[in-house]
Structure 1
Amino acid sequence: MLTVDFTRFPLAPGDRVLDLGCGAGRHAFECYRRGAQVVALDQNGEEIREVAKWFAAMKEAGEAPAGATATAMEGDALNLPFPDESFDVVIISEVMEHIPDDKGVLAEMVRVLKPGGRIAITVPRYGPEKVCWALSDAYHEVEGGHIRIYKADELLAKIRQAGLKPYGTHHAHALHSPYWWLKCAFGVDNDKALPVRAYHKLLVWDIMKKPALTRVAEQLLNPVVGKSFVAYATKPHLPKADAQ
């Protein structure tokens, strides 16, 4: 399940891509399939080890084209272990809402991004996320959980303040908002509640089968209750006088 829309955020073969806070690796895997040179970075060592195994399995199965590379590594989003201007593309999906110093993370992403490079940022959308917080304290009070809710204008302002130029936004995963509302209402750790189990089966069916009915429904509902807000931005080239 991808949150970044690669028709709006296209990759070229050989692009150096950083998936920052890669988690289970969903965007990193897609970039690898598209021929990129991918670095998947996360502070969770267990997840990184799993991502590395999947990269190896993809290579063995021939899922990535010639020239594509993939590396999984542990790291700190506030102290990235890369030189300046190392990447053509940076993706950070559902991460910034967890980090107290979000401006610091943006600054690090801008530092390692090449001039002319592009960033995709996804965060929980304000409206659906507010409902989750209202229904359950446990949803956001767990260690490492969500510490803020972004309004779209607020996030875009921070992106601009970091020196980036936004060029597009959209919403995603409308069908997932009701699932999380149910989780919050019945208990975030209560997967046995009948409504939660039933809706989860619906989501799995949708992800696996991609039926036209639910695909069209989600496209229609995304502007209203899309679970994620997605923003795309570029790092401008410095004028020659400023670059010297």
Structure 2
Amino acid sequence: MINRTLSEIVHCTNCGAIPLTSAEGKSQLNCKKCGANYEVKNGVLVMLPNHAAKEMADSEIHSKQSSVFNYIDHYQKDGIEHDYFQERDPGTEHIERRVREQIFSQFTNTTGKVLDVGCGRAWVAQHLCPKNYEVISMDISLKNTTEALKLYPFKNHSAIVADVFSLPFNENSFDYIIASEIIEHVVDPKIFVENLMRALKPGGTLIVTTPYKEKIRYSLCVHCNKLTPLHAHIHSFDEKILSTMYAGEDLQSCNYITFANKIPIHLRMHLFFRFFGFRCWKIADRFFNLIHNSPMRILVKWQKK
């Protein structure tokens, strides 16, 4: 079955044509201009580009090693090999909880259309769908998006397999776009942000979170005997770098927050802080950053005119 919410806001990733039409008796969308077909699998619309993924080897590590990063193939396999829905260890779960709370504290509208980029375990849909937001979970992995719909089968929740670098959404489609812990993985962060900003409605908000001033560590790959970054993090960001990712004429504002001080993490104080509400935790976190300014996360919010 074709999800109406998706069919109204997507275009052909092959030629850019709109609208796409649904074929009678078939679970797919078709492009009349170029003939491209986009199937629905397990309730998930699959809109990866028909052409081969652009082999973008511009990241520092790939350039140094003269290697090619087929990121679509990589993250499809990653979704199969790594269980994003498994239970986290208490320390990781606590940080992820505070990241989620910081993101949702940026919401000012009580309703709207939300795109969750790199949805992973689909906590955006879990939290926002019961609050009457319309959420689209997007991931390169069919496994993650399928599981997202299975776990959170809300009427206002849909899912799509797509790539930000061939983004299938029309301009001015979303009130909010969330890309949490994703930008450190992508080959070209600037194009990543630019493409997402185009999909925002006027007055819409793009929220990005990522590790703050991360020191990227490497291990030696047993297959190719070359250095590979741990957790596939290929970029490190601070507020100065992130604030230059977008400077379009339609930019209203760009603000950031740094948070999650390292001291409580190293002292395993999450065992105590897990009982704190978000406001109390923020006060404690600011206190530790006054003692020693060492936040682990940064949230950047771009507002469109």
Per the alignment, do residues 87 and 218 of structure 1 end up closer, same or farther by CA in structure 2, a change over 3 Å counting? same
Distance 2:249 2:127 in 1: 27
Counterpart in the other structure of 1:210? 276
Per the alignment, do residues 35 and 101 of structure 1 end up closer, same or farther by CA in structure 2, a change over 3 Å counting? same
**1:222 positional shift:** 5.2
Distance 2:264 2:233 in 1: 16
**1:137 positional shift:** 1.8
1:138 is the counterpart of 2:236? no
Distance 2:296 2:255 in 1: 17
> Percent of aligned pairs with the same residue?
23
Counterpart in the other structure of 2:295? 226
**1:234 positional shift:** 1.1
1:6 is the counterpart of 2:104? yes
Q: Does the 8 A contact of 2:218 with 2:230 survive in 1?
A: no
Structural mapping, 1:1-244, within 5 Å: 1-3=97-99, 4-13=102-111, 15-56=112-153, 59=154, 69-126=156-213, 129-130=214-215, 133=216, 136-138=217-219, 141-142=228-229, 145-161=232-248, 163-174=250-261, 178=265, 199=268, 203=270, 206-207=273-274, 209-210=275-276, 215=281, 216-221=283-288, 224-236=293-305
Q: With CA pairs under 8 Å and 6+ residues apart, which has the higher RCO, 1 or 2? A: 1
Q: Give 1:108's aligned amino acid.
A: N
**1:86 positional shift:** 1.0
Q: Does the 8 A contact of 2:149 with 2:158 survive in 1?
A: yes
TM-score (norm 2): 0.56
**1:178 positional shift:** 4.0
What secondary structure does 2:116 align onto? strand
Per the alignment, do residues 2 and 20 of structure 1 end up closer, same or farther by CA in structure 2, a change over 3 Å counting? farther
Q: Give 2:105's aligned amino acid.
A: T
Per the alignment, do residues 123 and 205 of structure 1 end up closer, same or farther by CA in structure 2, a change over 3 Å counting? same
Moved more, 18-27 or 142-151: 142-151
The gaps in structure 2 that reach 5 residues or longer are: 1-96, 221-226
Q: Does the 8 A contact of 1:171 with 1:222 survive in 2?
A: no
What secondary structure does 1:158 align onto? coil
Flag the structure with higher helix content.
1
Per the alignment, do residues 161 and 86 of structure 1 end up closer, same or farther by CA in structure 2, a change over 3 Å counting? closer
Per the alignment, do residues 218 and 145 of structure 1 end up closer, same or farther by CA in structure 2, a change over 3 Å counting? same
**1:54 positional shift:** 2.3
Q: Does the 8 A contact of 1:124 with 1:229 survive in 2?
A: yes
Q: Does the 8 A contact of 2:181 with 2:211 survive in 1?
A: yes
Root-mean-square deviation (Å): 3.1
Per the alignment, do residues 210 and 50 of structure 1 end up closer, same or farther by CA in structure 2, a change over 3 Å counting? farther
